[in-house]
Amino acid sequence: MDRKTMSSELLNSDSCNLHNASSDSLGSDSMSSSLTSKVGNENVEPAEAVPTVRPDDPPLLPGEKVQGVAREVTYVCPYSGPARGVLSVTNYKLHFRSLDRDTPYVIEVPLGVVNRVEKVGGQLSRGENSYGIEIFCKDMRNLKFGHKQENHSRRNVFEKLQQYAFPLSHKLPLFAFEYTERFPENGWNVYEPIAELKRMGVPNDMWKITKINENYTICDSYPPIWAVPSQVTEEDLRQVVQFRSRGRAPVLSWIHPESQATITRASQPLVGLGAKRSCEDEGYIQLIIEANAQSHKLFIMDARPSANAIANKAKGGGYEPEDTYQNAELIFLDIHNIHAMRESLRKLKELCFPNIDESKWLSGIESTYWLKYIKCILAGACRIVDKVENHKTSVLVHCSDGWDRTSQLTALAMLMLDPYYRTLKGFEVLIEKEWLSFGHKFHLRIGHGSDNHSDADRSPIFLQFIDCVWQVTQMFPNAFEFNEFFLINIIDHMYSCRFGTFLFNSDRERTNEGVKQKTVSLWSYLNSSIDLYRNPLYHPQPHVLEPIASMRYIQLWKGYYCRWNPSMRPQDPIYQRTRELLVLKEQLEKNQEDCRKELRSRISRSIGSPSRLVASPKH
Amino acid sequence: MNFIMSDTKTNNSFKSYIGLHDTNLSAHDISNDESFSEILLPKLLPGEMVVAEAHSVLLFTPVSDKKNGKLGVLVVTNFKLSFITAEEEQNTYYISYQRNMLLGPNDVSLSNVDVLYQISSKKRKLTPGSSVSDQVKGIFVLCKDMRALTFSFKLSPPGHGRKLTNALLHHGFPKQHHLLFPFEYTVPYYPGNHQVTMFRTAVDWEKELTRTASVGWRISTVNQNFRLSESSPQWLVVCSSILDKQLREAAPHFNGGRLPQWCWSSHSGAALVRMADVVSASDRIKDRKSLHYKVRMQENILLETVRKSHPRLTQPVVIELTKDMPSLRHIQVSFCKLRDLCVADNEKHFWEQDSQFYSSLESTRWLHYVGNCLLKAVNAASNLAKDITVVLQESDGRDISCVIASLTQIIMDPYFRTINGFQSLVQKEWVSMGHPFCIRLGHIYKSNTQQSPVWLLFLDCVWQLLQQYPLEFEFNQIYLTTLWDSSLIPIFETFIFDSEKERSEASSVSPVILRSVWDFGEQLPERDIASFSNPLYRESPKHLEVKSGVPCLHLWSQCYFRFLPILEIKGGGKPQVDLAIRELLLPPGSSVMSVESKQQIGSFYPFTHWNTRNSVNQNSLLLSTLSLNTTDDSQSIISFSCD
């Protein structure tokens, strides 16, 4: 492994070393590359898979092809100054390699993270590097390239960038459908809905599994398999579906193994201005209450601010009035909508990239509201956990449609309640279940492959969830089997479009498009080198986590939002050192085990002698 | 215990001793009190005496809207303010609390008391001399360690509250040094065999010169018996090229007679030097110009000798610490604002603070000042690394100089990142160089005080280094927090004097035992001392590259938030990392503690206050194993494998 490229922090500001390009998240994270170097990269060098490789071609993934190359390009790094080199565009990524530095300086950006591409300057622009291309990314950075002001030197690369960064706008396939790499594990098998329900003890006396939505006929954004109260009839369920926005009826997310208190999720009831009622929906909620013998009450957590919930009545939506839902208590969690979150992240990017105003850093963070929103979501999840765990009372969560804030809340609450979701596999299951199968609109929220960068449906809802998870991992450093790098990988590949996992808006769409058959799952990739993502401090803890949703603890995730800035890059020597210790410990344990075996075999050899009575090993 | 509360004689003698005008303070009232049936006695140290006590006092849980609390006896002694509650409850505390032998978890030393308020019809601040209301319903005690204690006398017998408040007001703010507790604390002291260099003898300085392989510097006896400078050490390490006569001539031109004093040398021979500013001429306007010329000349002569002490005669760099650094006042104001953020009256107040926490934290400037100090030290260190001698100059050279000189050496020299090294460093740069601990920590009350927690600012800087370099320090944050706490326990000579001169006088004139803080056995059991060690520590010779910008700094939550139970993460926080690593270091199969015990450990461990869990199983918490004393187990493995 070439470690030289890693040694110089400054040079390395935006890139990683060449060798790791295929194994780290986007070939750009310092932690990833240092990890890879330690553990060794088991993946085949992709460049070797493509025989017709030219010397300055970038390393390619299976299925990746170079589409355009521009020479004598200057990358204007905001931290280490301009670097001259070659810029290539493939159907997956943008690749820049410097030629004027001792240690080659490489930048790789999967085109999926590109939000928009703009030409800067014209033929007559003056000043160094004033003519070129600027790329605005979804992952908190912008890149600027300077081209020679002659022969339309940027034209080809610009066009290819447009095409392959926004393939759907140009009638091209997403890269995931062309990517052909094989992994030892098939990530599409990670989540089996029935197996996961069985793990929670469902079906049981109170809860049954229904295939009422088998062909997505009842609700097109829900999965085919639901767990519902066992008493409910199919007819009633069909009526309930009618009374919930987009047919998203209350179904089971999680059940407490001891108290049987549940978390169910839904969309808003279609109450409207006329205060419409549905006796089936009311009866159904009562069944959910009755399914928990420990409590005669249900908390309905409406994620929205109450004003928004009321305003939704005008659009036919609303919330459950307490007089008609008699044993339910409604709580508004005051989480703002997708537009507020998008705006907040935009401000955060302005604050973090490229340069930071140190003197106003803290008040600057506050003014973006990003952490305030994180706190609000965490506080909401904590309230759910408190009701379920400490009061043994079931909770129904919804917002308007039940696919944004609701997913954040149920997934976080489940993560705090159930240690299984804090394991690597369990966390993958959690995402598959609460986010993907329940129809969080990834395609719409991220804007995969589309050049419509100002689309009002885009919003960093899933990123916010991962941020919340990170906050909890900071408060409970040994409760999670996975590390920060795992989380960063998930977000990076949510944007990258290399894997099929986060494509499309619902289970139904993914099934119709044959995603499982035609693309690789992100979990195939991650699980094939799972050691990279292990938290060496992990110690399984059976108890419920109760994080503190206070700004005194919620911090900006610099390892993600500020990672492009070399001066902000956090070091994590504890992580490295603990890994080393862990390896030592494992060796020691192995030695000990060998000794035991040796001892046992000696004992068995001396069998028949009177020492037999004494020699029974006590461990 | 020697002194029980109903000892009339004690109280009488105390009256005259402190000059209480309230002659009603006697044991009579107390012994007649029938309302409190339980007899709860304060644990007293030898030499400690009860001054006043109030029965049936309520101590409220912080941020509980005065809805939760404990009932007990509140006692003022000549050493502490002690709240005594049912024994049983105390035991559960001790599980997650450092077992301090001088102070229990509900005790605060009188030196720790910063501001006292009486609660009658409204909250009013009390200062020595102000009168305590007859109607006093309770008191609010704001401590230097960011603890805020609210006591209510609602259930107390009439008169108890007022007497106690008066006693606290008189004893909590002593005006003279000899009223401090060490002058009463008679327990014999046997200095432990800690390997701290105290820098009280020429040999100690000699050793340090040898350790750093310094040339060009010599030890001068010119300040013997503090003739030249009252705040400097008796042994001055000065340039070899300068004569004692010249030193005597130059001294009056420097504030406090503080001449350029050697601190440390790099391997290449660049030195770190501290000196005071030259005397300003403002008070002698008459011959201002000529004087100014004269002092500047003296300064130049001395700086020239500093240059000559460099093996390659390189020109030194003078780093002025008066400029763009926080003043003592700034630091104190910043600290008070920071404390406001760590104290909340009620839950509503707490969450209001929370919603603006980031901007409020910014406006305290605390992290900004921490960053300033780190940046100065980074500058000094980078010069030293470039083989350039650095002279730190500050008006009196006794405050920020201590911070910067220490930090620079920690950055440059791995020895100072060991426990012994760090302690020797504090002896060298703080104790011997005369940081006025007594004034800065406010052990003595003065109306226009120069109280300023420079020491805490330094500990915070070191804590930041620990965050940035978690493998490079032999000690951990428990150690640093304990050091801060220790500085507020007026027992240790380290922290109750302003200079070495005062220390030596105190031990000769009025016999006081000079008890060093470095003998942690004086206050803590072995297992707690063992918990100071950083399990990840490994020796490494490298210079630290320190980040000093506010975005790279953190708030020291263990030290500042630990008295807010609402902020304790149960089963989480840094102690879990510590435990996990200690576990890794144990032989396979053994563990530090059971899983159930681990989840009882909160993020403020071992400074958990107000532990609300009552189901703690004491036996499961074998804290002694924290000491990593695992030789037995590992031995058994070895013998096993050799079988």
A-chain CB neighbours of B471 within 8 Å are: 573-574, 577
Torsion angle of C-alpha atoms B492, B496, B501, B505, degrees rounded to 10: -70
Closest CA to B33 of B5, B70, B2, B63: B5
pLDDT at A570: 66
Calculate mean pLDDT across residues B605-611: 81
B-chain CB neighbours of A365 within 8 Å are: 358
Place B313 in a pLDDT band, splitting at 50, 70 and 90.
very high
Amino acid occupying residue B553: L
Strands lying side by side in the sheet with A81-90: A106-110, A93-98, A81-90, A66-77, A142-146, A132-137, A114-120
Q: Which residue of B has its CA nearest to A475?
A: B573
Question: Does the CB of A371 have a partner CB in chain B at under 8 Å?
Answer: yes
pLDDT at A609: 55
Place B283 in a pLDDT band, splitting at 50, 70 and 90.
low
Question: Does the CB of B536 have a partner CB in chain A at under 8 Å?
Answer: yes
B469 and A359 in contact by Cβ < 8 A?
A: no
pLDDT(B357) > 70 = yes
Calculate mean pLDDT across residues B558-583: 91
Helix (H) or strand (E) holding A442: helix A442-442
> Known binder of ligand: residue A17?
no
Calculate mean pLDDT across residues A270-279: 96
Among B206-210, B283-287, B446-450, the range scoring the smallest mean pLDDT is: B283-287
Q: Are the C-beta atoms of A378 and A392 separated by less than 8 Å?
A: no
Calculate mean pLDDT across residues B460-479: 95
pLDDT(B282) > 80 = no
Q: Map residue A228 onto helix, strand or coil.
A: strand
pLDDT at A568: 82
pLDDT(B9) > 70 = no
Higher-scoring residue by pLDDT: A512, B608: A512
Calculate mean pLDDT across residues B302-306: 94
B569 and A476 in contact by Cβ < 8 A?
A: yes
Among A344-348, A467-471, B76-80, B577-581, the range scoring the smallest mean pLDDT is: B577-581
B511-550 per-position pLDDT tens digit: 788 899 999 999 999 989 999 999 989 888 889 999 999 9
CA pair distance A205, B173, nearest whole angstrom: 69
pLDDT at A2: 40
Among A55-69, B80-94, B137-151, B382-396, the range scoring the smallest mean pLDDT is: B80-94
Q: Which residue of A has its CA nearest to B350?
A: A550
Calculate mean pLDDT across residues A427-453: 97
pLDDT at A151: 80
Q: Which residues make Cβ contacts (< 8 Å) with residue B74, sequence separation at least 6? A: B53, B54, B57, B59, B81, B82, B83, B84, B151, B164
B37-83 per-position pLDDT tens digit: 456 788 899 999 999 999 999 999 898 888 888 899 999 999 999 99
pLDDT(A124) > 90 = no
Q: Which residues make Cβ contacts (< 8 Å) with residue A442, sequence separation at least 6? A: A435, A436, A448, A462, A494, A502, A503, A504, A505
A578 and B580 in contact by Cβ < 8 A?
A: yes
Place B292 in a pLDDT band, splitting at 50, 70 and 90.
confident
How many other CB atoms are found less than 10 A from the CB of residue A588? 17
Share above pLDDT 90 across residues of chain A, in percent, rounded to a whole number: 77
Calculate mean pLDDT across residues B330-346: 95
Chain B nearest-CA distance from A572, in A, is 9
Higher-scoring residue by pLDDT: B287, B40: B40
Calculate mean pLDDT across residues B206-214: 96
Task: Using DSSP bridges, classify how beta strands B107-109 and B80-84 pair: parallel, antiparallel or unpaired.
Answer: antiparallel
Place A365 in a pLDDT band, splitting at 50, 70 and 90.
very high
Highest mean pLDDT among A143-157, B90-104, B599-613: A143-157
pLDDT(A608) > 50 = yes
3-state secondary structure A386-412: HHHHHCCCEEEEECCCCCCHHHHHHHH
CA pair distance B504, B535, nearest whole angstrom: 38
B640 and A599 in contact by Cβ < 8 A?
A: yes
Highest mean pLDDT among A45-59, A74-88, A406-420, B437-451: A406-420
pLDDT at A612: 43
Helix boundaries (H) for A213-275: 234-242
Q: Which residue of A has its CA nearest to B549?
A: A358
- Sign for the CA dihedral angle at A29, A32, A34, A37 comes to negative
pLDDT(B126) > 60 = yes
pLDDT(A567) > 80 = yes
Calculate mean pLDDT across residues B358-370: 98
pLDDT at A138: 97
Question: Does the CB of B368 have a partner CB in chain A at under 8 Å?
Answer: yes
pLDDT at A51: 45
DSSP B108: E
Place B628 in a pLDDT band, splitting at 50, 70 and 90.
very low
Among A451-460, B173-182, B268-277, the range scoring the smallest mean pLDDT is: B173-182
| Mutate which: B538, B569, B637, vs A, most A CBs within 10 A | B569
B581 and A581 in contact by Cβ < 8 A?
A: yes
CA pair distance B642, A153, nearest whole angstrom: 74
pLDDT(B24) > 50 = no
Question: Does the CB of A182 have a partner CB in chain B at under 8 Å?
Answer: no
pLDDT at B641: 31
A451-499 per-position pLDDT tens digit: 999 999 999 999 999 999 999 999 999 999 999 999 999 999 999 999 9
Q: Are the C-beta atoms of A508 and A221 separated by less than 8 Å?
A: yes
pLDDT(B12) > 60 = no
A65-112 per-position pLDDT tens digit: 999 999 999 999 999 899 999 999 999 999 999 998 888 889 999 999
pLDDT(A359) > 60 = yes
What is the rounded average pLDDT for all residues in chain A?
88
Please identify which of the residues A382, A399, A497, A562 carries the catalytic annotation.
A399
Closest CA to B57 of B23, B78, B81: B81
Calculate mean pLDDT across residues B324-352: 95
Share above pLDDT 90 across residues of chain B, in percent, rounded to a whole number: 67
B77-94 per-position pLDDT tens digit: 999 999 998 755 545 544
pLDDT at B194: 74
A509-524 per-position pLDDT tens digit: 999 999 999 999 999 9
Tokens of B34: 């029938």
Question: Does the CB of A553 have a partner CB in chain B at under 8 Å?
Answer: yes
pLDDT at B509: 75
Among B398-402, B424-428, B513-517, the range scoring the smallest mean pLDDT is: B513-517
Calculate mean pLDDT across residues A25-49: 37
Q: Which residue of B has its CA nearest to A586?
A: B588
pLDDT at B285: 57
> Known binder of ligand: residue A376?
no
B-chain CB neighbours of A552 within 8 Å are: 354, 357, 555, 557, 561, 567
Query: What pTM did the predictor assign?
Result: 0.89
Place A607 in a pLDDT band, splitting at 50, 70 and 90.
low
Tell me, yes or no, if A219 is annotated catalytic.
Answer: no
pLDDT at A596: 86
Closest CA to B553 of B373, B313, B430, B300: B373
pLDDT(A377) > 60 = yes
pLDDT at B236: 96
